[in-house]
Structure 1
Amino acid sequence: MTDPTIGNLRVNGATLHYAVRGQGPLLLLIPGGAGGAASFDGIADDLAAEYTVATYDPRGMSGSTLDDPGAEQNVAEHADDALRILELLSPDEPAKVFGSSSGGITALHLLTAHPERIERLVAHEPPVVEVLPDAPEHRALIARVQETLRGQGLMPAMAEFAAGLKRGGDTGGDTGSDTTSDPKPEISLPPQAAARAERTMANLPYFLERIVPSFMSYTPDIDRLEELSNRLVLACGQDSHGELPYRPAAFLAERLNTGLLHFPGGHTGLTTHPAEFAKLLRKALQA
């Protein structure tokens, strides 16, 4: 595959770093977590055989810089960033969109706010926990994570967060400090993978302090999603059943009567099972 075309786009309060590869109708991939556009490295080239694939670093992460590094973040502004990329790269035609995790939340808002720009959306485990009947428990988890971040630092806060996601709910008490989700150092990483891991680690404080509390307190417009359900695919990882990121998508799929698509792997299946993930995503986008 040829190297992607790299660009920068000025938006309100930030400069977005994006990459484009392939040809055909536009497919925008919206990343979640702290990985940025690099989280799609395993599937972007595969998808570029059929689509013009656009990836980008969300504002404040990796190559996308904020004018004010201390600015508060919100879902609507992140969705507007995605809209600006769609307008730049596909000004005359609606695009297909895939969003994972917090990127799935961005994508859901984009769909409800600008449905004319989206032909089809696949949202993979968007943690919109406010739709759940036990939402107060998850608010308590987020508050504990923030308290731990302020009092004990990044890695204890990440352990608290990861344990809460694995449990699927707030059991209180146990902080999950022995969680198997703690980052594990690799003995030897290829240069590209090592650089990606370094960027992810650099993004973690911003992700945990600014993105997590804002995005996980977001409530989607369910009535609007129901109106647009014919272009929405809700998806989860087949190995993440019972975990917190799985539950909101499953809840919405039942509420909207859309069915729930299961991708290989868990919450990070696009990284752990890239070939199978890309194959299923291609089918979901065409259905």
Structure 2
Amino acid sequence: MSHHEPETHTLKVPGAKLYYEVRGSGPVLLLIPGGPQDAGVYDGIAERLADHYTTVSYDPRGNSRSPLDGEPEEQRVDLHGDDAALLISEVGIPAYVFGNSAGAHVGLDLVTRHPTLVRELVAHEPPCLTMLDDPSEMMAGGKDVYDTYLRGGAGAAMGKFLELNGLDGGSEPEGGSTPADNPWHEDPETYERVSGNFDYFFSHGLMPLSLYEPDVEALRTSGVPVTVGLGEADAGKAIYDMGLALALRLDTDPVAFPGDHLGFGPHPEAFADTLHRVLDGG
């Protein structure tokens, strides 16, 4: 694997300025972070995939190095989808797209409303709680996280959020350990940046991003291949069942990815290999 130093850029979009990083060469692969995450969480897989793709990772509006022009408002999946569309239009059409968690919801919205921009989508563990047979428990859990944030702040809320999504156990990274309070297995600089987004996520993102309901019919008729990725370590958890429910509605087979909901952090090599295999038609 050759080393690819990222080129850093910014793109002005309505109401914000997006920070993004470009590595490698080949067809464009846009990596969409979820929730409070930013481009840094994908460093490991972006580096490994840059031998095959022009990898583009970015900080979603309001996170880290992508400042909003005005005051924070409720986050909207369609607005994030428009940002992703503008970014693809800037770096190269059509693009392969990978999204994790709420970033998978953004990818699904992108395919629904901007299908000509997307070559193929891998939606990794989309939190489609509206697709569960009985979403009431997860909805109540999400509201409990939000109420905990209002009462006790971002730290207390993050503990509940990780527990709700089965992330409190964590998984051992390739080649070393990571502090238990850093579930993303990021380097300290990235973790410090991402943790600075927790307030914005809990106050303006958690509820609207998780209540997004994919338009299954539009996805099925879009002409864009959509693959649902599920973390091997998440079998039996609600987050796994949500993604599985979407795959069943789309009548597609889900693909097992290494690790848990954030498996790209501790398992970058195996995760990148799996993603490349999916996009390469394997």
Q: State the TM-score, normalizing by the size of structure 1.
A: 0.89
2:85 maps to 1:78: no
State the Cα deviation string for residues 220-252 of structure 1 (Å, max 9, x = none).
Answer: 101112224761111100011122221121011
2:193 maps to 1:199: yes
Structure 1 residue 70: Cα displacement: 2.2
State the Cα deviation string for residues 6-49 of structure 1 (Å, max 9, x = none).
Answer: 11111111000001111111110111132311011111111111
Is the 8 Å Cα contact of residues 146 and 209 (structure 1) preserved in structure 2? yes
Q: How many residues align?
A: 268
Note closer, same or farther for the CA distance 1:220–1:53 as it changes in structure 2 (3 Å cut).
same
Note closer, same or farther for the CA distance 1:260–1:2 as it changes in structure 2 (3 Å cut).
closer
SS of alignment partner, residue 97 of structure 2? strand
Is the 8 Å Cα contact of residues 31 and 99 (structure 2) preserved in structure 1? yes
SS of alignment partner, residue 40 of structure 1? helix
Partner of 2:59: 57
Structure 1 residue 212: Cα displacement: 1.2
Q: State the TM-score, normalizing by the size of structure 2.
A: 0.90
Note closer, same or farther for the CA distance 1:200–1:251 as it changes in structure 2 (3 Å cut).
same
2:180 maps to 1:184: yes
2:208 maps to 1:214: yes
Is the 8 Å Cα contact of residues 98 and 107 (structure 1) preserved in structure 2? yes
Is the 8 Å Cα contact of residues 237 and 246 (structure 1) preserved in structure 2? yes
* 1:213 aligned partner, one-letter code: M
Is the 8 Å Cα contact of residues 128 and 246 (structure 2) preserved in structure 1? no
Partner of 1:128: 128
CA distance in 2, matches of 1:230, 1:10: 27
CA distance in 2, matches of 1:70, 1:106: 18
Structure 1 residue 163: Cα displacement: 2.1
Structure 1 residue 134: Cα displacement: 1.3
State the Cα deviation string for residues 185-242 of structure 1 (Å, max 9, x = none).
Answer: 58xxxxx821111112111111222221111111110111222476111110001112
Partner of 1:8: 10
Structure 1 residue 283: Cα displacement: 0.8
Partner of 1:173: none
- Structure 1 runs of 4+ off > 4 angstroms? none
State the Cα deviation string for residues 23-80 of structure 1 (Å, max 9, x = none).
Answer: 1111101111323110111111111111111110001111000112322210000010
CA distance in 2, matches of 1:180, 1:273: 16
State the Cα deviation string for residues 137-156 of structure 1 (Å, max 9, x = none).
Answer: 22222221111111122222
Partner of 1:113: 113
Partner of 1:172: none
Partner of 1:143: 143
Is the 8 Å Cα contact of residues 123 and 232 (structure 1) preserved in structure 2? yes
Note closer, same or farther for the CA distance 1:22–1:163 as it changes in structure 2 (3 Å cut).
same
CA distance in 1, matches of 2:149, 2:11: 32
> RMSD between aligned alpha carbons?
1.8
Is the 8 Å Cα contact of residues 22 and 54 (structure 2) preserved in structure 1? yes
2:16 maps to 1:26: no
Note closer, same or farther for the CA distance 1:225–1:70 as it changes in structure 2 (3 Å cut).
same
Is the 8 Å Cα contact of residues 128 and 215 (structure 1) preserved in structure 2? no
CA distance in 2, matches of 1:162, 1:201: 13
Question: Which of 243, 265, 277 is the aligned partner of 2:259?
Answer: 265
CA distance in 1, matches of 2:272, 2:230: 14
Partner of 1:156: 156
2:226 maps to 1:224: no
CA distance in 2, matches of 1:249, 1:82: 21
Is the 8 Å Cα contact of residues 4 and 50 (structure 2) preserved in structure 1? no
Identical amino acids, percent of aligned pairs: 38
Is the 8 Å Cα contact of residues 72 and 204 (structure 2) preserved in structure 1? no
